[in-house]
Structure 1
Amino acid sequence: MEYRKCGTTYVVRLDVEDEIVESLQRLCEDEKIDLAQISGIGALKQAEIGVFDTTTKQYHSNTYTGVYEIGNLTGNISTMNGVPYFHLHITIGNINHHECYSGHLNKGVVGATAELFVNVIDGKIDREFSPEVGLNIIRFVDEN
């Protein structure tokens, strides 16, 4: 992973074998990022993607291995219990353009390169588990 800060945005290049979530974790720790918006494109050789079932309140994850293009990677960084929390969604397509998969990105291993833009936002947003929803939802923090 290499990155440069341009204003309030980090431009991040990931290389073959870099893992997206682990790389973002390192970036947030190194640069003390608590709140940001993420977008990205690139190519993956492996992705673990989950879809949340609102009825059972459980994630169902699948792992996809092969040649995949990232059609869209979007999400945000906040914190939960004082550590970075990533809420990332991804859409990937296969080499034959016949299948696309989309959902919550749990893991993404880069197959060629990935280009991420991490736009830092001034402020702090925390997360807390909502038993009603079954997810870690945004909790607004009074900064005073």
Structure 2
Amino acid sequence: MRWKLISQDTERTYALVLAEGDEVVSTIEAFAREHKLTASRLSAIGALCQVGLGYFDWDKKDYLPIDFDEQLKVLSLLGDLALHEDAPKLHAHVVLGRRDGSTCGGHLMRATVRPTLEVLLVESPAHLRRAFDPASGLPLIHIES
């Protein structure tokens, strides 16, 4: 992965270019740890293969897996980074395009880049923290009043 700081007015903005073979979630979370990012938003486009998505089943309080072993275009990848147990945790949703023009999407669990993923990562000036939500069983962003 290559990266460049492209702005640092009130928010630092990074452009990350993930390379073929990079695992998306772990690479972005490692970058966030290294640069001490505690709250950020991101968007990305590119292409992936070997993708694992999830669809949250409210009754089971767990993600149902949706796996793809094909070349897919990233039409939209949106998400955020917030602290969970003192480490940055990526929460992202993705819409993927298939060869026939159909789309699929869900919560991004894992994915391998092929050939590139271009990410814009914008750090927020204040940190965000995730806390366990008993109703959903998920670590959700907690905003203190």
State the TM-score, normalizing by the size of structure 1: 0.93
**2:4 counterpart residue number:** 4
**2:114 counterpart residue number:** 111
Amino acid at match of 1:127: R
SS, match of residue 66 in structure 1: coil
The answer on whether the counterparts of 1:73 and 1:89 sit within 8 Å (CA) in structure 2 is: yes
Separation in 2 of the partners of 1:78 and 1:38? Answer: 11
Q: 1:86 and 2:108 equivalent?
A: no
Separation in 1 of the partners of 2:86 and 2:138? Answer: 17
5+ residue gaps, structure 1? none
Q: 1:16 and 2:20 equivalent?
A: yes
SS, match of residue 70 in structure 2: strand
Amino acid at match of 2:65: S
**1:37 counterpart residue number:** 41
In the TM superposition, structure 1's runs of 4+ consecutive aligned residues that sit over 4 Å from their partners are none
Identity of aligned residues (%): 26
Which of 136, 139, 143 is equivalent to 1:140?
143
State the TM-score, normalizing by the size of structure 2: 0.92
Shift of 1:82: 0.5
Amino acid at match of 1:138: I
5+ residue gaps, structure 2? none
Aligned pairs, number: 141
RMSD: 1.3
**1:120 counterpart residue number:** 123
The Cα offsets for residues 121-140 of structure 1, whole Å up to 9 and x where unpaired, read as 01111111111122211112
